[in-house]
Structure 1
Amino acid sequence: MVAVAPAASTLAIPVFYQPMIDQQVIANISWGTPASKVIPTVVDTGSYGFWVAGPDAIVNSGSPYLGQMGSCNQTIDPAFHWPESSSHSGPYDEGKAVFLYGGGGKRIVCPTAVNDTMSFHNDYPPIENVQVASCDFIQIKSSSTTCRGAHYDKSIMGLAPIPAIQGGPLLHSELLKQGRLGSGVFSTWFDAQPADINEPQVGTLLFGAVPADKYTGDLVTLRNSGYERAETGYYYVGMPEVRAVHINGEGDGKKTTIPAANPDKLPQCLADSGTWGMTLPTDDKAFYAATGLEADRPFISPRYPAACADIPVDAAFELVFTGTDGKTASVKIPYRSLAEGEGQAPNTCRLNLQLGDNGCTLGGTFYASAFIAHDDEARTVQIAQGAVAGSAQGPPKGLRL
């Protein structure tokens, strides 16, 4: 990688979240000079490595078997055609990698890497000289053998501190090595939900600082128990308490604590901004009784008794986290943020929430609701109530230009 003069600072990337369309944390990134088309990039705290579809990249699908070529090929669009950029350097062999997701059901082959400028769609300043793996082949295992067009990612920015066994660029650690950040932490937060459910909820990914004016209530510190697992490098926190009020006002508006499906065996929760929706090991019958929601059978997800666009903005349940010092942070999860589409019954909305599971995943929906700071050196995750109005309408002050 080309050397960069040290300049301890902070760097920020605008992100967004949009229920019913893409319940992951997404960054719209343009690459190079002139700037490429906007490439939607998954900001993923559940994986490592940074890659983008490169020139002539294709997606192969249509086979239900791992590693077997299917009959369907799609040209990836948009993609980063880096030879056309006057500001790129490389290609570099040391950045090549193969990334696997979903147990190998998705395989990304990246034969090289390049350095270039990332730019954004608003007033956030560009970030120069960033290395990214350039990928030319994506293979997706699919049960369907007909070519209807597979859903695929164009780019993933992995932020988990996982050892890069297969190689590939690591954005956060590279920024630190180059002396471009004043601190090893990174934070994410979102603005309040827009009134229109079809409008994106905007947010910020900030490298190098934990601002104090982007959340409400206490910012509690949780141990990242991911380092205690056999496969280290993921962000895991203790199971929060789940509370809710009835959507119809039953119970005089009092909050009910909803028990876990197996209170004697509470799992740790994976904090993964690249996962759609949420999974909670909460007793489903108790959840429906406390909230007034019902199962959207034959699916196992809940549904809200109104069209998705008509769900009140303040209708939510809460997750309560207890920090290492005993303080608690309550994070409201709006039902609108979980909206997935029309339910099985008329005038209802299916929610992307899986209940009663053995595991616990705090996906993109959680990140859209909470303020989260990740500190890999201290091995902690800090959480507070996010979605503060006006907190992400523009870049934070003091960014390096």
Structure 2
Amino acid sequence: MIILLFATFLSIFVGNFGLLTRNFSCSEAICGPRVSKCMLIKSCNCSMTPEDLVNKNCSCCKDCFHCLGELFTDCCSCVGLCRAAVPIDPRMAMRSYVESLNPAEDQISLFELVTAQPLSPDSKWTVHSFPTLEPGFFYKFNIEQRREEMESLINVNCTVAFLKQCLSVEKCRSACSSMGASAYRWFHTGCCECVGQNCIDFGIRESLCEECGELEELESNVVHLAKSDELSIRKYLFQKMATKGKQMAKGQKKIVEENKSTFIFYLIMSSCGCVCHFLIHYFFFTDGNVFSKSWLLYIISVIIQITALQFMRYLAKPVYSDTGHLLDGGVDLNLEGGISEYCKDAIILSFILQLLSLIHAYFWALYLLCPCFIIYKLWISVLAPWIFQPSPSEREPSAKKNMKLARKMNRLK
């Protein structure tokens, strides 16, 4: 019975990772709870290969669609109903939005003034100048009759200014307008290019902002986060177990410091309980049989505490970049209602039972509180929502409402 109890207790931690390491193409933080529920109630358990979808042999696709509900777009790739998101296009830096500003005459002079070389050392932009037209432009496009007019443009330079930092499209427009630019080009990477009056093609089509993250940097950051199992799992557990009430905002460094002190406190508590019980029981209550029930129960309590401590260390492990910059401080072990609270409860319960069992061995029976609590959480989180879920006819209007709402949101975008 006690071995079964420990296995049940241990499975509550291991079970949290089974559905997370299955697919990198979907967001565990968003889809983990919903997908696990749909799998448990067998709404998404049929074959969903591309061949099944083409041949319309997917028997549970409709039920799976209703079960995923408003998270269908984000989570359909987790169960195979749709393909994974397309990776970042290497040509994204070439994609941009352009707009003419039509500045006043005095503003045009202002742009020429602020882009004149040399720039001040603290300038917030870099300037690039190049011929407005190539020498053979009028020959290429059969406009030799306007040669004199077009040839004059060859001696005119197009001047553009790239703001060093990334900006939103609204701030890019405002910045270029205040500089007196005739147009602007905003790249989808966040780079902002202000275009002068003599440019006929909205400046340069390549992102050249110095301090704005280049495409390679953006890709490396995305790949780093996508491949970071530990970061994804901690974010998932944080969002799953966090309470819905107000939470105090903490800095990542403060979370790391508090997690360290919390872990040391419970490590000392666990060590004191284990050492005290061992010494007192060995020197005063030992019967010479190391395989007695009392010793076996003590060993199980030690294993439970070690498991809880290792799980807390795993949750609280910070993530650093290659340059040593703190990316994520880990899950806050002091978060009220978080999964770390269950680890603390397991350590405290084991510590108390180790001391009380020195008075009488029957106190070990209080370990039965663990499976009772697990059954209670299983009922309110999984079984009750499954048993008392609405019928398909009741869910149909809700699904239609969600689809209409999704269409409206797409139109607004």
With structure 1 as the length reference, what TM-score do the two structures score? 0.24
With structure 2 as the length reference, what TM-score do the two structures score? 0.23
Which of the two has greater helix per residue?
A: 2
Higher relative contact order (CA 8 A, sep 6+): 1
Structure with larger Rg: 2
